[in-house]
Structure 1
Amino acid sequence: MEMTLEVIPLPVTDVDRAKEFYRDRVGFHVDFDGEVTPGVRIVQLTPPGSGCSIALTQGLDMPMENPRPGTYHGMQLCVADAKAAYEELTSRGLDVTEPRALSPQDGGTFLYFRDPDGNSWVIQEYRRRAAEPLHRLLADLAAGR
């Protein structure tokens, strides 16, 4: 059985502020923003080239599934060029750390940032993604190639 991870609910205190942050500062695409039932709003955003999105919710009351805003740490984005990502993100006004190489191998350079609620993110350089984007690899696998 194959499974894909496609949506991660992200706890935030202000959906509009978080939407603006992820759209304008981080560069995520807004896939959906609407009221799904009376009083329940969902905003789904996806990083460019990703098969996984985040979902910001308002009015959804599921206590066991809704952690406090600011409690998600270490969510990871992968990029082909950490320096280029740093330059693009800082040009958008994102407070992101400078790239830090932890090992000389591919995948050993990292940047870090937090959203307005304190949820933390890691950006990992993985140069192989430039030649082999994950969404293409998954499509090839699904097609039996």
Structure 2
Amino acid sequence: MKLELVMVPVTDVDRAKEFYVRAGFVADHDQTVSEEVRFVQLTPPGSACSIAIGRGLTGMVPGSLDNMQMVVADADATHADLVARGIEVSEVVDLAWGRFVHFADPDGNRWSLQQLPAWSTGAGGDGERPGA
């Protein structure tokens, strides 16, 4: 079983789509089904799981996602890349269980990007898990 899609509640679909594309996500689909329903699927670089933003997709309150987490190979490089793309991010935070960079979308949905410690992966902290 694999996680395929996570709904991210937003107020302005176009603004959110622009933000996530600027952050490096790939816009896979943008389909207006009806006046009430628009579905936009975006995939983070290297991820098998996508996010969906849109209209008429979820009853969740915009900005209510707190601490969605993705694994990155290098927190410093990811920080530099996001800053270069104009994304407001935290400084890199070093903790015993990894190195973290945090950001939020325009609605306040918060993301954590974690560089796993080498001891947790056995492969240099790249986040790749055997059999994934």
Q: TM-score range by the shorter chain?
A: 0.7 to 0.9
Asked if 2 retains the 8 angstrom alpha-carbon contact of 1:73 and 1:120, the reply is yes
- AA aligned opposite 1:73: D
1:72 aligns with 2:69: no
Written as runs of structure 1 = structure 2, the 5 A alignment for 1:21-36 is 21-24=19-22, 26-35=23-32
Name the residue aligned to 1:95.
Answer: 88
- AA aligned opposite 1:41: R
Asked if 1 retains the 8 angstrom alpha-carbon contact of 2:71 and 2:127, the reply is no
Asked if 2 retains the 8 angstrom alpha-carbon contact of 1:79 and 1:129, the reply is no
Post-superposition CA distance 1:88-140 (Å, at most 9, x none): 0000011101111112xxx5111111110011010101264776745x833xx
Change beyond 3 A, Cα 1:43–1:111: same
Q: CA offset at residue 57 of structure 1? A: 1.5
RMSD: 1.9
Change beyond 3 A, Cα 1:11–1:132: closer
Name the residue aligned to 1:110.
Answer: 100
Name the residue aligned to 1:55.
Answer: 52
Aligned-pair identity in percent equals 46
Q: Note the residue ranges of structure 1 that are not aligned, 5 or more in a row.
A: 139-145
Asked if 1 retains the 8 angstrom alpha-carbon contact of 2:39 and 2:53, the reply is yes
TM-score normalised by the chain length of structure 2: 0.87
Name the residue aligned to 1:141.
Answer: none
Greater CA radius of gyration, 1 or 2? 1
- SS in structure 1 of the partner of residue 89 of structure 2: coil
Q: Where is the helix percentage greater, Structure 1 or Structure 2?
A: 1
**CA–CA distance in 1 between the matches of 2:75 and 2:106?**
22
Aligned length: 126
Name the residue aligned to 1:10.
Answer: 8
**CA–CA distance in 2 between the matches of 1:69 and 1:16?**
14
Asked if 2 retains the 8 angstrom alpha-carbon contact of 1:75 and 1:121, the reply is yes
Q: Note the residue ranges of structure 2 that are not aligned, 5 or more in a row.
A: none
